[in-house]
Structure formats: structure tokens, C-alpha cells
Amino acid sequence: MITPSIKAPPLGTAIKPKVSGEDWIMRVVLIGIALYLLITMVFPLYAILSKSFQTDKGVFIGLDNYIKFFSTPALFWSIQNSFFVTIITCLIVVPVAFTFAYALTRSCMPFKSLFKGIALIPILMPSLLPAIALVYLFGAQGLIKGALLGHDLYGPIGIIIGESIYVFPHVLTIMLIAMSTADARLYEAAQVLGAGKIKTFFTVTLPGVRYGLVSAFFVCFTLVITDFGVPKVLGGKFNMLATDIYKQVVGRLDFEMGAVVGMVLLIPAVFAFFADRIAQRRQVALLSSRAVPYEPKPTPAFDMAMLTFCIVIGAIILAVLGTACFASFAKFWPYNLSFSLNHYDFDLMDGGSWDSFFNTLELAAWTAVIGTAAVFSGAYLVEKTKGFETGRGIMQFLCMIPMAVPGLVLGLAYIFFFNNPGNPFGILYHTMPILVICTITHFYTVAHLTAVTALKQMDPEFEAVSSSLKVPFYRTFFRVTVPVCLPAILDISMYLFVNAMTTVSAVVFLYSPDTALASVAMLNMDDAGDTAPAAAMGMLIVGTAAGVRLVHTILSRGLLRRTQAWRYR
């Protein structure tokens, strides 16, 4: 049957699929984004790693820096301090967040969405803000300093309280996701078998969220051990790894020791990252697609207890926010509490300026726009590129690394990499673009995972259909994929925007006088003793983030109504 004109390969030889022009486009863009991650993350990490083995002149000295670190008690005790504070915080926050999530998902208490909203407020704060609020509550001139029973706020107590407030919404979010996947059929089965409420809790509820709990624990662990804002304000003489990096680099200009502390901090962060990934994977495997959502039934006593609990937690969060707000408007705390806008006159303060606020807005806007485009395209290509397994595998791996890298380590790594005279990318140093790049990379992973989740929910055959219709993939990307994923895309942009507004850790090493940022200004003003203006700047950040979030919600509702008409029957 085969006519001579057909050059069919001899039977039995492996078919090498022809790579079409479109496939090449996909691969090239994929490689481009992978290169971006390589240059903005892997190379800098290599730079900081090698720096930790060098003298300040760049001479390789093996483990000498590490030996110095471990033979200086003031330095290595920080490890113990960091772990102590972190673990205590986890032990407090995880059960509290668990109970709060339990109340929101398994009780019939009223005002659930109000309490959820309040609980999520700290996400909009730089971690410096709850710490500053604590100073006004429990500090030397605090409103209720007696409540600490004479203990010093500055030190582990203050740090633990501050961190607890800062990480609470993050842990709560994980718990809520884990709890929302409950399968009502299991509860019915338990009831039929005559299990009581407590027995059901231990045999159905807890096993169902066990991986969520593990994941929450490790996320909490990472956030606290790498956080810099709270210990910076409340650390006092209590040294922690995160503050040590800053002190070594900014205080003593000992970059090599900073690199060593950074590498030491990286180890638990990487470990927690892997533990969290494993837990998350198991949690997903628990999800059965046929699960019937659980509908709680009213139980007055239980609902009342849950409501009381939520009121207490909500009150604490509002008290923190309210105190910071009040302090920022009080003329002269605690002596003259009359209303004044003096503290918002940042240009008069040491280390602060209104420009820094506008810089932050600029940073957040660029990060949201460029970051969302890069992250979503990257996730799309990882998911949809045909063949090219190696490239996709590497890209997938690169996308996950940022989550394991503490901001301080990333920021310091950028100094080593970009401030190297031999580096052509050095022109970026001390500019707005490097802040944008750093922030995108810093928050890449969560945004990437959000995009992947949305893409996985799309029919995998859209691409097959469009290629059969001879429509190039990029057309389908813009006409179908992007519109269908718009809710996720808006979420990603919001996530990047808010985090760019509140982040301190990475950018604290990278700003220049021209690109000072609001969160860094907060830090510097607080350092200089201008606590009230720092609180004012914090309120400005929270207010802006909340405002942008509100506008975002309204806009996206309107946008969704127009572009997502198909969602409503």
C-alpha cells in the first residue's frame, strides 16, 4: 500500500515527534522564565553560599567563618533563642487557629464572615505593626503594662505575642482549607455508629485535618523563624537569627558573618519547607472528589462557646489595630492624647518620608502587574507545554524554591550577587527594578501554586481542541485560559500587591535613598525612637492595603460579572 513517494521510517524505529513552531515558542518562553528564576534566585543563593566560605577580601577560607560563628556564644545562642520563640509561638497559634477554624466551619455561631474578616486583618500589616502596638499596650508607658505582671515586654514574651498575632491569619487560612474539605458522610457514619461528639472529634475530625495541622505547624514555624519585624522592635537584648543577620550586615558591616547566619537560618527553613510539601501532598490525597460538604447543625451551648472564643480572639486583633491607630493620632502619648496629625508628617522624621510611601505604592503596583503576568504564564507553560519533560521538571523545581528561602537571606544574597562589580546585572543595584524583581521572586511560589491550582481545574482538552482547529495556543491562552482563570489571576495580583506593601525582610538590604520604602521607613523611625510616626506609617500601609483590597473586590466583582456571565446560568 505504501507508495514510493512516502518516506515512512522503517517499522520498529522509535517515532520522534515533530516539534511544531508553537511548541518552540512555548519552550523558549518557558526557558526565559526559568532563566529569570535562575538569575534572580539560584545565582544569588550561590553567591551568598560562597561568600560564607570567604574572607571579606574574597579569599576562600573553608569553614573558618562557621567555626567563628559556633565559637561565639552570642551568635550561636541565637539558634536556641530562635527555636525557642518559634516553637512556643507554634504551640500557641496552631491550636488557637484550629479552634477558630473549627468555630467557623463546624459551628452554627452567628457573624462567621465578620470574624473571618477580622481574623485576616493582620495579613495587611507589616509585622512591625503588631510589635509597635504591643509597645503601646505593654511597654514602659503602656496602657495595660501591669498585665505582664512585671515581666519585660522586650524579649521572648513580647516576641511571642507579636509573632502570634502576625502569623495567626496565615495559619488560620491553612486550617480553614483543611477543614472545609470535611466529608459529611464520615460524620453521618460516626453518628449512625453511635459515636459521641468527643469520640467523633478524635476519630473523624482530627484524622481528617491531620496533614493540615502538620502543614500549618511548619508554615507557622517558617514564618516566625524567618520574621524580622517583630524581634527587631521587641527583641531588646534577646538575639535571634533573623535580627543577627541584620545586625551583622547593617550594624557591623560584617557581610561574611551575615552570610553564615543566613545559611544557618536557611537550614530550618528548607527543612520546614519539605515537611510542609509532604504534608500538603498527603492532604490533597485525602480529598475525595465525591466528598459531600459537611453542614453543621445548631448546638446552642457549643455554638455559644465558639462564639465567645472568637470574640476574645477578634477583640485581641482589634485591640492591636486600634492601639496602633490611636497612638498614631495621639498628640503625645501618654500625656496628651488629643487628636493630631503630626505623626503623619513623615518628612520631618528621621528615616521617614512621604516619598517612601509612594515608592511602596510603585513597588506594589509593578510587582502585582509584572509578577502576575510572569507567574501565570510560567505556571501555564509548566502545565501545558508538550513533551520537554526535563525543561518542565526544572522549571517546576525552580518555582518551588523561593518559598524555602527566607526574605533576609534573599535580600543579602542580592547584595552579594548584584553588587558584584563583575556582574552585568549590577546596573540594577539600588534601583526600583531590583526591588520589584526581588519581591516577585520572594513571593513567587504561593502565587505559582495558586495559578497551578486554577489551571488544573480547566478542561485539559482545551489545548487539544484548539490545535485540532489549527488555532495557535497563544490565542486560546488569551481568549479562553486567561478569562476563565481571571478570578485566580486577580487573587494572585492582590497577593503580590499586599505582600509588596508589607514586606521588610528582603528589601531592607536593597533600598537606596531614592527608593526608600514605607515598611523600611517604619523600621528606621522606630529605631530612631519615633515610635508614633512608625505606627502612623504602619496604619497608612494597612489602610492602603485594605483600601486597595476593597477596590479590588468591587472591581473584580464588576469585571467578573461582565466577563464571567457564563458562570451564572
Partner 1 sequence: MTATTSSLYLKAEKLVKKFGNFTALNDVSLEIFESEFVCFLGPSGCGKTTLLRAIAGLDIQTTGTIEQAGKDISALPPSERDFGIVFQSYALFPNLTVHRNVAYGLENKGMLKPDIEARVMELLELVGLPDQGDKYSAQLSGGQQQRVALARALATSPGLLLLDEPLSALDAKVRSHLRHEIKALQHKIGITTIMVTHDQEEALTMADRIVVMNHGVIEQVGTPNEIYDHPASPFVADFIGTMNFLDGQTAGDNCVALGGVNMRVDGTQQADDSSEITVCIRPEDVATRGVDANSENAIEATVAELEFLGSVHRATLDINGDRALRFRADFSANLMRDHAIAQGKSVHVAFPPDRLHVFGDLTDKAGAP
Q: Residues in the site for partner 1, rule: CB under 8 A?
A: 1-3, 6-9, 11-20, 22-23, 386, 459, 461-462, 464-472, 475, 479-480, 483-484, 563-567, 569
Identify which of residues 56 and 459 has a Cβ nearer to partner 1 in the complex: 459
Identify which of residues 23 and 355 has a Cβ nearer to partner 1 in the complex: 23
Contact between 382 and 31 under an 8 Å Cβ cutoff? The reply is no
CB of 285 to partner 1, least distance (A): 21
Identify which of residues 267 and 465 has a Cβ nearer to partner 1 in the complex: 465
Contact between 112 and 104 under an 8 Å Cβ cutoff? The reply is yes
Cα–Cα distance measured from residue 10 to residue 12, given in angstroms and rounded to the nearest whole number: 6
Contact between 371 and 439 under an 8 Å Cβ cutoff? The reply is yes
CB of 291 to partner 1, least distance (A): 21
CA atoms within 13 A on the CB side of 273: 17
Identify which of residues 84 and 462 has a Cβ nearer to partner 1 in the complex: 462
Contact between 438 and 40 under an 8 Å Cβ cutoff? The reply is yes
CB of 15 to partner 1, least distance (A): 5
Q: Single out the residue of 360, 326, 233 nearest to residue 536, CA to CA.
A: 326
Identify which of residues 7 and 237 has a Cβ nearer to partner 1 in the complex: 7
Cα–Cα distance measured from residue 267 to residue 159, given in angstroms and rounded to the nearest whole number: 22
Cell of 216: 500549618
Identify which of residues 207 and 483 has a Cβ nearer to partner 1 in the complex: 483
Please report, for residues 84, 313, 352, 524, 551, the alpha-carbon distance to residue 529 in angstroms, rounded to integers and kept in the order given.
Answer: 28, 30, 12, 9, 35
- For residues 555, 558, 562, 567, the Cα torsion angle rounded to the nearest 10 degrees is 110
User: 73 preceded by cis ω (within 30°)?
Assistant: no
CB of 486 to partner 1, least distance (A): 9
CB of 395 to partner 1, least distance (A): 21
CA atoms within 13 A on the CB side of 513: 1
CB of 463 to partner 1, least distance (A): 9
CB of 22 to partner 1, least distance (A): 7
Identify which of residues 10 and 194 has a Cβ nearer to partner 1 in the complex: 10
Identify which of residues 189 and 464 has a Cβ nearer to partner 1 in the complex: 464
- 91 contact partners, CB below 8 Å, separation of at least 6: none
CB of 12 to partner 1, least distance (A): 6
